[in-house]
A = this chain, B = another copy of it.
Protein backbone atom coordinates (compact mmCIF):
# COMPACT_ATOMS: atom_id res chain seq x y z
CA UNK A 1 0.00 0.00 0.00
CA UNK A 2 1.41 3.40 -0.97
CA UNK A 3 2.39 5.84 1.78
CA UNK A 4 -0.05 8.38 0.43
CA UNK A 5 -2.85 5.83 0.44
CA UNK A 6 -2.23 5.11 4.10
CA UNK A 7 -2.34 8.79 4.98
CA UNK A 8 -5.58 9.04 3.03
CA UNK A 9 -7.17 6.16 4.87
CA UNK A 10 -6.19 7.61 8.22
CA UNK A 11 -7.54 10.97 7.20
CA UNK A 12 -10.76 9.44 5.88
CA UNK A 13 -11.33 7.96 9.34
CA UNK A 14 -10.61 11.22 11.13
CA UNK A 15 -7.23 10.10 12.42
CA UNK A 16 -4.23 12.44 12.60
CA UNK A 17 -1.50 10.72 10.58
CA UNK A 18 1.45 10.93 12.97
CA UNK A 19 4.68 9.12 12.24
CA UNK A 20 3.88 6.25 14.60
CA UNK A 21 0.35 5.83 13.31
CA UNK A 22 1.59 5.69 9.75
CA UNK A 23 4.12 3.03 10.67
CA UNK A 24 1.56 0.98 12.51
CA UNK A 25 -0.96 1.32 9.71
CA UNK A 26 1.69 0.47 7.13
CA UNK A 27 2.37 -2.86 8.82
CA UNK A 28 -1.13 -3.89 9.78
CA UNK A 29 -2.95 -2.67 6.69
CA UNK A 30 -0.40 -4.03 4.24
CA UNK A 31 -2.56 -7.11 3.74
CA UNK A 32 -5.75 -8.74 5.03
CA UNK A 33 -4.38 -10.25 8.20
CA UNK A 34 -4.75 -10.75 11.95
CA UNK A 35 -2.15 -9.44 14.37
CA UNK A 36 -1.90 -9.09 18.13
CA UNK A 37 -0.53 -5.93 19.70
CA UNK A 38 2.63 -7.72 20.75
CA UNK A 39 3.18 -9.19 17.30
CA UNK A 40 2.74 -5.80 15.74
CA UNK A 41 5.16 -4.20 18.19
CA UNK A 42 7.74 -6.89 17.51
CA UNK A 43 7.41 -6.34 13.79
CA UNK A 44 7.79 -2.59 14.16
CA UNK A 45 10.83 -2.94 16.37
CA UNK A 46 12.34 -5.38 13.88
CA UNK A 47 11.70 -2.81 11.17
CA UNK A 48 13.58 -0.28 13.25
CA UNK A 49 10.55 1.87 14.03
CA UNK A 50 10.61 4.11 17.09
CA UNK A 51 7.33 3.12 18.78
CA UNK A 52 6.42 2.24 22.32
CA UNK A 53 4.11 -0.48 23.53
CA UNK A 54 1.70 2.10 24.94
CA UNK A 55 1.42 3.80 21.59
CA UNK A 56 0.78 0.53 19.82
CA UNK A 57 -2.08 -0.24 22.16
CA UNK A 58 -3.44 3.30 22.07
CA UNK A 59 -3.24 3.37 18.31
CA UNK A 60 -4.87 0.00 17.79
CA UNK A 61 -7.74 1.04 20.04
CA UNK A 62 -8.04 4.32 18.18
CA UNK A 63 -8.08 2.58 14.82
CA UNK A 64 -10.68 0.11 16.05
CA UNK A 65 -12.91 2.81 17.47
CA UNK A 66 -12.80 4.59 14.12
CA UNK A 67 -13.63 1.45 12.19
CA UNK A 68 -10.29 1.21 10.43
CA UNK A 69 -9.64 -2.24 11.86
CA UNK A 70 -11.70 -4.82 13.72
CA UNK A 71 -10.86 -6.39 17.09
CA UNK A 72 -11.39 -10.14 17.32
CA UNK A 73 -11.71 -12.24 20.44
CA UNK A 74 -11.38 -15.88 19.51
CA UNK A 75 -9.63 -17.02 22.66
CA UNK A 76 -9.55 -15.40 26.06
CA UNK A 77 -5.81 -14.85 25.98
CA UNK A 78 -5.41 -11.81 23.75
CA UNK A 79 -7.15 -9.55 21.27
CA UNK A 80 -6.49 -9.95 17.57
CA UNK A 81 -6.80 -7.02 15.24
CA UNK A 82 -8.14 -7.76 11.80
CA UNK A 83 -7.10 -5.43 8.99
CA UNK A 84 -10.09 -6.63 7.02
CA UNK A 85 -13.19 -4.80 8.19
CA UNK A 86 -15.43 -6.20 5.48
CA UNK A 87 -17.92 -8.75 6.77
CA UNK A 88 -16.36 -12.19 6.98
CA UNK A 89 -15.95 -15.13 9.31
CA UNK A 90 -13.12 -17.22 10.69
CA UNK A 91 -11.69 -20.66 11.01
CA UNK A 92 -9.81 -21.13 14.27
CA UNK A 93 -7.33 -23.96 14.62
CA UNK A 94 -7.78 -24.78 18.28
CA UNK A 95 -4.38 -26.39 18.62
CA UNK A 96 -2.15 -23.86 16.90
CA UNK A 97 -4.34 -20.85 17.42
CA UNK A 98 -4.16 -20.03 13.71
CA UNK A 99 -6.90 -17.83 12.29
CA UNK A 100 -8.07 -18.07 8.70
CA UNK A 101 -10.67 -16.00 6.92
CA UNK A 102 -13.92 -17.46 5.65
CA UNK A 103 -15.48 -15.31 2.95
CA UNK A 104 -19.09 -14.26 3.32
CA UNK A 105 -20.39 -16.24 0.31
CA UNK A 106 -19.09 -19.43 1.92
CA UNK A 107 -21.63 -19.13 4.67
CA UNK A 108 -25.32 -18.73 4.25
CA UNK A 109 -27.86 -18.34 6.99
CA UNK A 110 -31.29 -19.53 6.01
CA UNK A 111 -32.60 -18.49 9.38
CA UNK A 112 -31.51 -16.05 12.05
CA UNK A 113 -33.37 -15.07 15.21
CA UNK A 114 -34.92 -11.61 15.33
CA UNK A 115 -33.08 -9.37 17.77
CA UNK A 116 -34.88 -8.68 21.06
CA UNK A 117 -37.24 -5.69 21.09
CA UNK A 118 -35.45 -2.36 20.97
CA UNK A 119 -32.21 -3.96 19.82
CA UNK A 120 -30.61 -4.30 16.45
CA UNK A 121 -27.87 -6.52 15.13
CA UNK A 122 -24.53 -4.74 15.25
CA UNK A 123 -22.57 -7.62 13.80
CA UNK A 124 -22.24 -11.37 13.59
CA UNK A 125 -19.12 -13.16 14.73
CA UNK A 126 -18.85 -16.68 13.47
CA UNK A 127 -15.87 -18.81 14.51
CA UNK A 128 -15.57 -22.34 13.19
CA UNK A 129 -13.24 -24.23 15.53
CA UNK A 130 -11.02 -26.78 13.83
CA UNK A 131 -9.11 -29.76 15.12
CA UNK A 132 -7.08 -32.44 13.44
CA UNK A 133 -9.42 -34.85 11.70
CA UNK A 134 -9.72 -38.13 13.55
CA UNK A 135 -8.59 -40.94 11.27
CA UNK A 136 -11.42 -43.09 10.03
Point out residues on A near B: beta carbons under 8 Å: 71, 73-76, 78-79, 91, 93-94, 100, 102, 106-113, 115-116, 118-134
Can you offer 19 A-B residue contacts whose CB atoms are under 8 A? Answer: A71-B76, A73-B74, A91-B115, A91-B116, A91-B119, A94-B122, A106-B112, A106-B113, A107-B112, A109-B110, A119-B130, A120-B131, A120-B132, A120-B134, A121-B129, A121-B130, A122-B131, A124-B127, A126-B127
* Smallest beta-carbon distance A75→chain B, Å: 6
* Smallest beta-carbon distance A46→chain B, Å: 25
Closest to A93 in B: B119
**Once bound together, how far apart are the Cα atoms of A129 and B106, in whole Å?**
21
Whether B109 pairs with A109 at a CB distance below 8 angstroms is yes
Residue from A71, A111, A119 whose CB has the most chain B CB atoms within 10 Å: A119
